[in-house]
Structure 1
């Protein structure tokens, strides 16, 4: 009888604990979506966001064991965590380019191996974000556009599309299969039509045009990917969320048009002097600048052996120097 009573008591404790865990999980999910994510998006501290996503993702995702899976939150966590790994990949690439410039082939090869490993991790994280996006919103290739609840719902949808595209790019850069379907870019491009292009700073059209520019046979008849990208760049500039510059630069890099890449970076650096970042989306604009600095660093490293000098983002090693006025000593005599 005593054993039976103890069994019921322990069973009751388990039920109570499960209720507490579920309630805690629901509260944490709701708070993170409605407050933590918006708070972070108003910040421009990318390193802080990176550290937070890597540190808290296991904790927040574990609540999926006791309550509904936090799919929306997962999209943001894995997108940010993937960018952390991609940042490391960029650093390894720069180290490799520096060693190549110094004619140290062995060290360069080692750095490029590390780069591929980091891209492999980035691709896995981005893929998780993409999978959670599809779990919440439905697979974009076999469903209609979702009914969004609010603005944050739309933004997370767009973040998921970015995760899908970045997952594919990471897989390509890693030169090994991570399990990302090769039609992901086309799927993402079509799904971007579910978002209001004007509301979201021209980014949906820029994303779609980037796919057109990079995947042969996807550009619709009568469209010009780079014309669309130029328009999106201007839209982002006016809105203070300059993702359009990034998409434009990525497409130009893929085309090996270094002059266009330089022009895009110059335009961004001039824009930030006169057009402030949108206060609600500072993090996104800061992310755009970080990605453009990475592209600039790669160009500088390939041509000079060092990255973009401090205070010279938007300029390049081969820029024509403005003439300096000199004083004729004869004028003083």
Structure 2
């Protein structure tokens, strides 16, 4: 008879295996529990960071005029904040602001390379000019990629813009981020054009953005929605509706921006004038902006946007100065130009003193 007692070799071998299996199951459960706990901690942290950044960090930054600080912050924190999308909902709204700001960092570099290229051409340095232009195009590729990411996150959160249905905004910041997303779309297209490369930005973004601006109150947002729409009309052949005048609309928006202390419409006006090739109008817009800076205080709530507008117009002014003089806009002379008539200087007749 076969002995199946506890002392049999077969029984002695089976017992440890059962114990090992049980231990493995317990260990697996414990590890799984740790994973669940960690996931909950990460998710909670992500939700807190997203909410804090949207409700406090962004508004705090908008009250600052330190563009360089905002640029550095977006480039440094974007990977951290966006990584929380792996453990909680994708931070699409926050991504609009992060990638829009990071795109402006790359665009700023592109403008610096452009000025270097112009200076090199003035100095008859062909090789230096070509190298700077290559760096300029590379920077515009990066800028366009970042702006396009902002546009994609904008669409993921608000839905495809320009389809006829407007999103239900929760608060003013929600509306502002919507406007920022529209701006990022146009900037993505502009960056792609400037880079002379194709990164997949649709060519019809301009018309989409123009339609989507109808979801925003023009008076509430400093005339910027209409200015943005009018800029698209001025730049895209056939886009201007019958009976409309893009540059008349831009002039009206300029006044609204000045009154609100957020002079973003000046930027759109200057861009449209540059596209038209009207240097006289470009100068006039810059002069008006400089005058307004002295006479109209900036909005406390939106100082960052106002400072961004001034910086972009200074970049246009610098390009004009470098093209014509070899150097940028002199300190303290923003709003004036190299060919301005000098004011008559009072002179003293020394004959009477002899």
TM-score, normalization by structure 1: 0.99
1:131 maps to: 152
Pick from 232, 235, 241 the counterpart of residue 256 of structure 2: 235
The 5-angstrom pairing of residues 177-216 of structure 1 reads 177-216=198-237
Unaligned ranges ≥5, structure 2 = 1-21
2:10 maps to: none
Between the aligned partners of 1:213 and 1:44, the Cα distance in structure 2 is 30
Secondary structure, aligned partner of 1:17: helix
- Residue 289 of structure 2 corresponds to residue 301 of structure 1: no
TM-superposed CA distance for 1:143, in Å, is: 5.0
Between the aligned partners of 2:193 and 2:35, the Cα distance in structure 1 is 47
- Residue 85 of structure 2 corresponds to residue 103 of structure 1: no
Post-superposition Cα deviations, 1:61-91, rounded to whole Å, max 9, x if no partner, equal 0000000000000000000000000000000
2:332 maps to: 311
Between the aligned partners of 1:213 and 1:127, the Cα distance in structure 2 is 22
2:17 maps to: none
The 5-angstrom pairing of residues 107-186 of structure 1 reads 107-142=128-163, 144-186=165-207
Aligned length: 333
Pick from 93, 96, 100 the counterpart of residue 75 of structure 1: 96
- Residue 27 of structure 2 corresponds to residue 6 of structure 1: yes
Unaligned ranges ≥5, structure 1 = none
Secondary structure, aligned partner of 2:301: helix
Post-superposition Cα deviations, 1:235-284, rounded to whole Å, max 9, x if no partner, equal 00010000010000000011111111111111111111111110000000
1:44 maps to: 65
Between the aligned partners of 1:259 and 1:141, the Cα distance in structure 2 is 34
Pick from 37, 56, 62 the counterpart of residue 35 of structure 1: 56
TM-score, normalization by structure 2: 0.93
Between the aligned partners of 1:291 and 1:36, the Cα distance in structure 2 is 23
RMSD over aligned Cα atoms: 0.7
TM-superposed CA distance for 1:106, in Å, is: 1.3
TM-superposed CA distance for 1:118, in Å, is: 0.1
Between the aligned partners of 1:291 and 1:159, the Cα distance in structure 2 is 16
TM-superposed CA distance for 1:142, in Å, is: 3.0
- Residue 307 of structure 2 corresponds to residue 286 of structure 1: yes
2:115 maps to: 94
Between the aligned partners of 1:38 and 1:329, the Cα distance in structure 2 is 61
